Amino acid sequence: MQVAFALREPSVRFDEPVRSLLRQKSPVIWSISPDATVYEAIYQMSEKHVGCLLVLSGGHLTGIVTERDYARKVVLQGRASHQTRVREIMSKPVLFIREEDTIDDAMRLMTMRKLRHLPVLRNDDVVGILSMGDLVSWVVEAQSKTIQQLQGYIEGMYPA
């Protein structure tokens, strides 16, 4: 006897475009000017509970500044936060992903390049930022939905 087994298509897929994940996030993008002090950047990160800020100049993405940049390029080098400008420590050029690229593409890029934050662009405009935490949440949700579908099948909730 052969039993047909077909799960419904999972609602979370890794070949979905990044814009699918962005829809679940707040549209707020925190940024700072390259001329701001590093102290201002760290203060803003602390206030907003974020680990990075996009550096925008004239509305264009020119860099990204992270807590890691601060630790390595200010603290360890004995520089002064109030005198050092963001442009002096920001990471550039900025690695980014397009909103039509897949979640799998984002995961691969972030893993290979050891990135914790990845700006998302539409043409030359920033439309979001992905964090490693966002991707981990996406994976957990995908696994949870697959487990629910398998439990439903085992319990006889799916027609054979």
159 pLDDT above the threshold of 70: no
List the strands of the sheet with 97-98, edge to edge: 97-98, 117-122, 125-131
Write down the pLDDT at residue 67: 94
141-155: average pLDDT: 71
The string of pLDDT tens digits covering residues 2-57 is 434 444 444 456 788 999 889 888 888 999 999 999 999 999 999 999 999 999 99
Decide: helix, strand or coil at residue 6. Answer: coil
**Taking CA 66 as the corner, what is the angle to CA 84 and CA 32, rounded to the nearest 5 degrees?**
65
Instruction: Give CA–CA dist 3/132, Å, rounded.
Output: 40
Domains of the chain (ranges plus CATH)?
Answer: 18-154 (3.10.580.10)
